[in-house]
Amino acid sequence: MKVIRTIVDLRTEIKHARSQDKNISLVPTMGYLHAGHAALVSAATKKSDFVCVSIFVNRLQFNSNKDFETYPKSEASDIEICKQAGAALVFIPSHEEMYALDPAIELSMPALSVNLCGPVRPGHFEGVLLIVARLFNLFQPDLAFFGKKDYQQYRIIERLVRDLNFPLEVVGCETVREPDGLAMSSRNANLKPEHREQAALIFRSFKILLKAFENGIVDPVELVEIAQDVIVSGPDNRVEYLQIVHPESLELLTVIEGPFVVAAAVFCGEVRLIDNVLIEV
């Protein structure tokens, strides 16, 4: 496995892989990797023969300097996880390497960012779209793998690929969870011990919502209230949003007539966590 840090070297490696007719996949990450990321890399190895991982903490998608500065990092561990999971190449650029000049272009997707994280994280998805489009241009992958824990991001990137005709397939991978249901996230490392147990209430609330739905409660407002009550039973939990949306358009549902996604952002103490589940009807 090669670790490279410059765009010049990256382009050399990609050109060499293409000359050998290798199928290229990309797993974009911000580092501090865990089993969820390893699962993405492993999934990529089953569908391609040249798996690339990018590790770059993209400051353009952070809403606050504090959040950016406290984002956990573990480069040596990240490299080892990539190696063990079967990656062929890891790209770890500096901010200056990726943004030699401040970007003059802006990308946005208003229709898909009007709900969920969009209103509470202004500028976030614009930053995501810019870095992902840049990575797609640099790697020119055949496949790109994203976790569905960041469901809104996954759908937005899917639409980016369609709208700009990137010649690649976006592969969404299911959320990897801890034994108690907490979605694996790099931010979990920042949870204080007393908040860790309360964080598991997020997934528990989804299961209770599903049970209520199966028992005949179909009003989205009532279902949201049921789930929210479960989450805030943790005294240090604060719900930023909890919404039921259409799985493709991400529009808020007032009536449930088919599959739906229940998604939440919750502050467990000072740590913001997101999670979701897709419920088939």
User: Could you report the per-residue pLDDT of 99-126, keeping only the tens digit for each?
Assistant: 999 999 999 999 999 999 999 999 999 9
Contacts of 17 (CB under 8 A, 6+ apart): 24, 50, 88
Residue 42 has pLDDT above 90, yes or no: yes
- pLDDT confidence tier of residue 269, bands split at 50, 70 and 90: very high
Question: In this structure, which topology does domain 186-279 adopt according to CATH?
Answer: Pantoate--beta-alanine Ligase; Chain: A,domain 2 (3.30.1300)
pLDDT of residue 52: 98
Please give the C-alpha separations between residue 214 and each of 42, 62, 252, 262, in angstroms, as whole numbers: 34, 38, 20, 14
* pTM metric for this prediction: 0.96
- pLDDT confidence tier of residue 24, bands split at 50, 70 and 90: very high
pLDDT of residue 46: 98
Question: In this structure, which topology does domain 2-173 adopt according to CATH?
Answer: Rossmann fold (3.40.50)
Q: Look up 37 and say whether it is catalytic.
A: yes
Domain boundaries of the chain, sorted by first residue: 2-173, 186-279
Q: Helices 124-139 & 7-19, crossing angle to 10 degrees?
A: 50
Contact assessment for residue 205 and residue 264, using Cβ atoms and an 8 Å cutoff: yes
pLDDT of residue 65: 87
Residue 70 has pLDDT above 90, yes or no: no
- pLDDT confidence tier of residue 136, bands split at 50, 70 and 90: very high
Q: What is the mean pLDDT of residues 48-62?
A: 96
Q: What is the mean pLDDT of residues 238-264?
A: 98
Mean pLDDT of the chain: 97
Catalytic pick from 16, 34, 37, 95?
37
